[in-house]
Amino acid sequence: MGNGVTPDGSPVAAYLAIPVDRDFAPVLDDLWPGASVLDLGCGVGRLANELARRGHEVVGVDESAEMLAHLDAGVQAVQARIEDLDLGRTFDVVVLASHFVNTADAVERHALLACVARHLSPGGSAYVEHWNPDVIDDLHDGEGTAGDVVLRFRLLEQRGAEFDAAITYVVGGEEWTQTFTAEILDEAQLEAAVEAAGLQVFGRLDPKWLVATR
């Protein structure tokens, strides 16, 4: 089990212990057999590895070599920043998970979604995970579990639509705390950002997964 921490503070060991169905069940249920998939910010491969086991052609992208080291042999690993990525090909499905779209930097948000758009085949599906507008209530001193991992949330500061928060992961007698800044987007703002990147909103899988196409 990896014991490192990535540049953004993500603990490798904790992500290895979080079950895939905690976050990705809606995506897995919606995918069609044989679809090619680009998993942006794939981390340790929770989604990418499961997709490869189900017979999908999968490319997993992450900036952390330690995260990528946990991808199965059936996943093509690419070490890169999402914003800079240009593989020169398109995919049936592109996944942008981990609430990347809620970055407080609007320029970075556009670059992330533009990466999704340039890698998505016409008629394909992009799955974009985002924070719900009521996330502040969820993060305010909350606690939950994901498999063997205990997750503790703290809201540190709120500045209008932006907020700072901390999440502590506890697993196997060890714990790590990761801080992050995010921006709450309402439905209109989220859809506008997606469309500005050249995508069209198609629908939803559930309250936190938006589906787009081009």
Question: What are the tens digits of pLDDT across the range 66-78?
Answer: 999 999 999 999 9
What's the one-letter identity of residue 85?
L
Three-class DSSP category at 77: strand
Delimit the domains of the chain by residue range: 12-132+184-213, 135-183
Q: 91-122 burial, b for 16+ CB within 10 Å, e for fewer?
A: bbbbbbbbbbbbbbeeeebebbbbbbbbbbbe
Superfamily of domain 12-132+184-213: Vaccinia Virus protein VP39 (3.40.50.150)
What tens digit of pLDDT does each residue of 119-165 get? 999 999 999 999 988 877 766 678 889 999 999 999 999 999 999 99
Least confident window among 14-23, 186-195, 196-205: 14-23
- When pLDDT is averaged across residues 200-212 and rounded to a whole number, the result is 96
Query: What distance in Å separates the CA atoms of residue 203 and residue 121, rounded to the nearest whole number?
Result: 17
Choice between 6 and 53, residue whose per-residue pLDDT is larger: 53
Total length of the chain = 214
What percent of the chain stands above pLDDT 70?
97
Least confident window among 62-66, 83-87, 138-142: 138-142
Q: Which two structure tokens, joined as six digits, stand for 206?
A: 């559930």
pLDDT band at 24 (very low <50, low <70, confident <90, very high): very high
What Rg value do the Cα atoms of the chain yield, rounded?
Answer: 16
- 3-state SS record for 126-152: EEEECCCCCHHHHHCCCEEEECCEEEE
pLDDT band at 8 (very low <50, low <70, confident <90, very high): confident
Predicted pLDDT at 135: 78
pTM attached to this predicted model: 0.95
Predicted pLDDT at 133: 83
Q: Per-residue pLDDT for 47 more than 50?
A: yes
